[in-house]
Amino acid sequence: MSSRRDRFLLSPRDYDDDAESLRSPLSEQESDSEDDEFLARSRTTLELAEHDRTVLDDEEETEKLLTRTGPTHGLRRIFSPNRSNVRIGKKEEARRQRKKEREARRARQERRHRYGEEEMYEMEEGHRDDESSLLSSSSSDLDERVKEQYAVVQDRQTVSWRKLTLVFSAIFVLFLILLLGAYKASASFRASHSPTSLLSNGTALFAPTTILISLDGFRADFLSRGLTPTLNAFIADGVSPQYMLPSFPSVTFPNHFTLVTGLYPESHGVVGNTFWDPELQEQFYYTHPSVSMQPKWWNAEPLWMTAENQDVRTAIHMWPGSEAHIGGVEPSFIDPYNGTEALPRKTQRILDLLDLPGLEESQSDPARPQFIAAYVPNVDADGHKFGPNSTEIRGTISQADDMLASLFSGLQERNLTDIVNIVIVSDHGMATTSTERLVQLDDLIDLSLTSHIDGWPLRGIRPKRPEDLKTLQDQLELVASKYSHAIEIYTRESMPDRYHFKNNDRIAPLWVIPKTGWAIVERPEYDAQAALQTGDVYHPRGIHGYDHEHPLMRAIFIARGPAFPHPPNSRVDVFQNINVYNILCDSLGITPHANNGTLRLPLEPSGLHSDGEAPVLDNPSDPPLTQTAAAPPPTSSTAAVASGSPLAASSSAKPEEEPELETWWGGIWDKVEELKDWASDLLEGVKDGIA
């Protein structure tokens, strides 16, 4: 290797390449003393040369500089005042300046892309302020300085990694907090699927299980007739309101769908047992399963769909709407409607479902359902046929109570009394009809102007043409006052808000709603005036569908089980049946779909039922018998508007009063009918007292 002295003995042309070598680390060059002395003089020369260009232009100063630094041979020619050499020096300086700028730009780019390596980059490129000290140090000193610089960089990198670690730790802790919040929020759902929530009856494991039984047409005050010892004992062990309000209209199909959706009929779309859909241009009729059991009519998610979508098996026994394939989700078990099925068969069917293998035998796919819904139509059927105050209905009420006694006995034999939730409801009550409480719709309006008549016993009127609606309204206004004791007349827009019965196109634009106990008939199916004259008894003997808040329409709700940890005989405030869906979902540990209900488990008792056995209920009586509201066909002089009717408020007509035509035979027959009904009521009272 040539000595460093030889490297400096260069021509001016070669200077640029070797000038940069002076800035190289000393560890790459020899370190003998002679070279060190020469290097010191050369470094001084370079420093002075780069100090100021004016010094190089001054011949005297240049000579002094060369004299002070000693003979430098080739270097003397560089600093010669010769003008060509000066030009070379200027060019070299410009080139060095451009090189410095390029290096500065590279340094900035490196700093952008190399976090934590800024110090190392400056050392490697020779841009530190202490450059001269590095050049004058020995290789060992330089190594130490390099190590110190590396230590600084490593420290900075360590600090950076610590910061990153802290940031990631904070993010992880936040994620754990959010996860814990979600865990707690879904506690009820997890409970139904977690093995720790399983209950054992000694032989099998049960996930949260609820049995829902609907006693169709079971009026709330039936509990106070002394015919229901099982239900009364069930009330004493469980939690219940004095009664539960159905939804309007208080008929079977709308209310059974409300019970399993938590929605008002105007929201779920089943607005009556019969109705016309103007969009589908089809008629829904509940007794025609081929039509009514199509999913297009059922515009909501029933509970069995909610449960099955959350991996909870369901079994539905004859529930209205369960055969409609709603949402394409079927219950795990479904029993089609059979109106002739004996009550003991229903009991056995429920127990057989509970006897299916559960989680103790098949962890992946248990057969046993967790939700069982059973529909019992018997009380409603006999209430229509014989009336809610008949001797026959008393026997039917007792039979329904016996069926529940058999079910409870089967649960006790299986040690399931405190493991399975039982919820017993009804959909509505029942009112007694009479031939004296009939309104002949033909005498109120011109039926030839109507296209469809919806609902029963209330009547929704749809005109054939839009302009016919005003004509039908005018006709009702002319005769309404004569029937103010028997009917109410509303447009869809003027329907009372508490009915929640206006926000659906399936609701007819004009309604004639009978008062409780009254019925509306049309010829030729039934002629009310002729029936009075012949003494014909109107059927059905019992009707519902009236104002859902009337005492005769009150339903029941009674619950007991592990999801209802309330003191025995607890009484909760009266609520409407839109709340049942939420309660059932909570008892199963599933998340309910959006609905109109507000109650959630646990319920908040407001006290105890005072008699210790059953809710204290008044005994609502049937509407009084009055002379029939049947009347001759409407004329321009027919009496006018019903007081308090929304249509009456807008009417300016002042109809003339027309005396009611009576016959001597009609008067005598009315007295006979009143005497007969008085005797029937007296006999029923005596029987109830004996019972």
**Which residues form the catalytic set?**
252
Q: Which of 374, 345, 372 is nearest to 356 (CA)?
A: 372
Amino acid at the residue 378: N
Please report the sign of the dihedral spanned by the C-alpha atoms of residue 228, residue 233, residue 235, residue 236.
Answer: positive
Paired residues of 314 in beta bridges: 371
Other CB atoms within 10 A of residue 126 CB = 14
HSE-CB for 114 with a 13 A CA cutoff: 13
Please report the sign of the dihedral spanned by the C-alpha atoms of residue 55, residue 56, residue 62, residue 65.
Answer: positive
C-alpha Rg value of the chain to the nearest Å: 49
Residues for the chain: how many in total?
Answer: 691
Residue 405's SS3 state is: helix
- Give the distance from CA 53 to its chain's centroid: 84
Q: Which of 654, 387, 422, 342 is nearest to 517 (CA)?
A: 387
Amino acid at the residue 639: A
For the record, the structure tokens of 6 come out as 């030889």
Using CB atoms within 10 A of its CB, is residue 428 exposed (0-12), middle (13-18) or buried (19+)?
Answer: buried
For the record, the structure tokens of 565 come out as 């940890």
Neighbouring residues of 505: CB distance < 8 A, sequence distance ≥ 6: 277, 278, 279
Please report the sign of the dihedral spanned by the C-alpha atoms of residue 170, residue 172, residue 177, residue 178.
Answer: positive
Paired residues of 652 in beta bridges: none
3-state secondary structure labels for all residues of 295-323: HHHCCCCCHHHHHHCCCCCEEEECCCCCC
Q: Name the one residue in this structure whose structure tokens are 């005003």.
A: 470
E-strand ranges in 75-187 read none
Using CA atoms, how far apart are residues 607 and 624, in angstroms rounded to an integer?
35
DSSP classification of residue 200: E
Using CA atoms, how far apart are residues 502 and 286, in angstroms rounded to an integer?
21
Residue 566's SS3 state is: coil
Peptide bond just before 457 cis, omega within 30 deg:
yes
3-state helix, strand, coil in the chain (%, to 5): 45, 10, 40
> Max alpha carbon distance in the chain (Å)?
159
Using CA atoms, how far apart are residues 675 and 691, in angstroms rounded to an integer?
24
Q: Name the one residue in this structure whose structure tokens are 């709308």.
A: 254
Beta-sheet pairing, 209-215 with 371-376: parallel
DSSP 464-502: SSHHHHHHHHHHHHHHGGGGTTTEEEEETTTS-GGG---
Paired residues of 462 in beta bridges: 452
Using CB atoms within 10 A of its CB, is residue 564 exposed (0-12), middle (13-18) or buried (19+)?
Answer: buried
Neighbouring residues of 448: CB distance < 8 A, sequence distance ≥ 6: none
